[in-house]
């Protein structure tokens, strides 16, 4: 019951890592607000969690829309009275090299991966500050730390998230709000399914990981649970690697 009575908002809730979090947090007795653009999956997940005895509410949210954030905060406060935890988890992925990337897709990616977390933070902080408690977790990626032959926009957005995390932790510490990042390596979800669908690509990814395998969504969810719960009450401004040792070498 590590999240007993905590109200937790998870964006990108219906994706691989999002679903794993929502199910785990509900088991830990949180009231979970599932935020995503995928309404069908969102209502189904909320229903599954409720049927299993948890507390879940789906809210349709495009993280890049300020007015959607205003509505989410309003709905959440009306229903649950407060917001204790926000996980800025929604993200989109692109593998085009910098030279092949086009500006419209660059802008779209930045508006979801980076502006989404900026808007989310702004939206929830007011309520957290008045309660003098809160935990915000930004989901970055090891692509923030190391370059690659492919991609560029995605890694740049995730690196900027680490800076947003540090600034935000400094500016909110005196209000009792902690802000941290998790930094996953390759995790088996729809997002990277193309990269790992051919056995050669998969073997190459795995050969670079100290623990010799890709991560699972629940392994990231447990790291986020730690940062969301009071177990991490003395932890802020940090970057928690969940990468099987990928970046230790
Ligand atoms: N899978 C990996 O290998 C990996 C590695 C490192 C970091 N991450 C990060 O973890 C997070 C979750 O990724 P995942 O692997 O579960 O991906 P996923 O593709 O399974 O899920 C992404 C979710 O985000 C939602 N989403 C997309 N655009 C949105 C928007 N504008 N507003 C609200 N929701 C939106 C999608 O509907 C989907 O439910 C992402 O931030 C991703 O960048 C993933």
In a domain, 247, yes or no: no
List C-alpha distances in Å: 174 to 127, 141, 230, 234: 14, 28, 17, 13
Q: Which residues of 201-221 are buried (b: 16+ CB within 10 A; e: fewer)?
A: ebeebeeebeeeebbebbbbb
Q: Are 222 and 24 in contact (CB under 8 A)?
A: yes
Q: Which residues of 149-184 are buried (b: 16+ CB within 10 A; e: fewer)?
A: eebbbbbbbbbbbbebbbebbeebeeeebbbbbbbb
Atom of ligand 1 nearest to the CA of 187: 3
In a domain, 195, yes or no: yes
Q: Is 242 in the pocket of ligand 1 (CB under 6 A)?
A: no
Q: Is 101 in the pocket of ligand 1 (CB under 6 A)?
A: no
Identify the DSSP state of 189. S
Ligand 1 centroid to residue 170 C-alpha, Å: 26
Domain that holds residue 12: 7-240
Q: Is 40 in the pocket of ligand 1 (CB under 6 A)?
A: no
Give the other-Cβ count within 10 Å of 78's Cβ: 8
Written as tens digits, the pLDDT of the chain (249 aa) is 999 999 999 999 999 999 999 999 999 999 999 999 999 999 999 999 999 999 999 999 999 999 999 999 999 999 999 999 999 999 999 999 999 999 999 999 999 999 999 999 999 999 999 999 999 999 999 999 999 999 999 999 999 999 999 999 999 999 999 999 999 999 999 999 998 998 998 998 999 999 999 999 999 999 999 999 999 999 999 999 999 999 999
In a domain, 248, yes or no: no
Q: Whose CA is nearest to atom 21 of ligand 1?
A: 15
Number of domains in the chain: 1
In a domain, 59, yes or no: yes
pLDDT at 217: 98
In a domain, 129, yes or no: yes
Active site residues: 154
In a domain, 2, yes or no: no
Ligand 1 centroid to residue 91 C-alpha, Å: 4
Ligand 1 centroid to residue 174 C-alpha, Å: 31
In a domain, 213, yes or no: yes
Give the C-alpha separation, 31 to 83, whole Å: 10
Q: Is 189 in the pocket of ligand 1 (CB under 6 A)?
A: yes
pLDDT at 201: 86
CATH of the domain at 73: 3.40.50.720
């Amino acid at each position: 019951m590590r999240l007993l009575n905590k109200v937790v908002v998870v964006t990108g809730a219906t994706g691989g890592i999002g679903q794993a979090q929502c199910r785990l947090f509900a088991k830990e007795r949180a009231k979970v607000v599932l935020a995503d653009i995928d309404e069908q999956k969102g209502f189904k997940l909320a229903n599954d969690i409720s049927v299993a005895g948890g507390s879940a509410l789906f809210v349709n949210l495009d993280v890049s829309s300020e007015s959607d954030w205003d509505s989410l905060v309003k709905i959440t406060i009306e229903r649950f009275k407060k917001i204790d935890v926000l996980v800025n988890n929604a993200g989109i992925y692109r593998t085009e090299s910098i030279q092949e990337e086009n500006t419209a897709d660059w802008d779209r990616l930045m508006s979801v991966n980076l502006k989404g977390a900026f808007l989310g933070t702004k939206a929830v902080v007011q309520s957290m500050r008045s309660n003098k408690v809160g935990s915000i977790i930004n989901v970055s990626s090891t692509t923030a730390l190391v370059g690659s032959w492919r991609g560029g926009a995605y890694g740049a957005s995730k690196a900027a998230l680490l800076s947003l995390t540090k600034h935000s932790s400094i500016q909110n510490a005196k209000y009792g709000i902690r802000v941290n990042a998790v930094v996953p390596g390759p995790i088996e979800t729809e997002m990277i399914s193309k990269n790992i669908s051919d056995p050669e690509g998969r073997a190459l990814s795995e050969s670079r990981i100290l623990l010799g395998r890709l991560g699972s969504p629940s392994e990231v969810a447990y790291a986020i649970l730690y940062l969301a719960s009071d177990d991490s009450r003395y932890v802020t401004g940090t970057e928690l690697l969940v990468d099987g040792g990928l970046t230790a070498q």
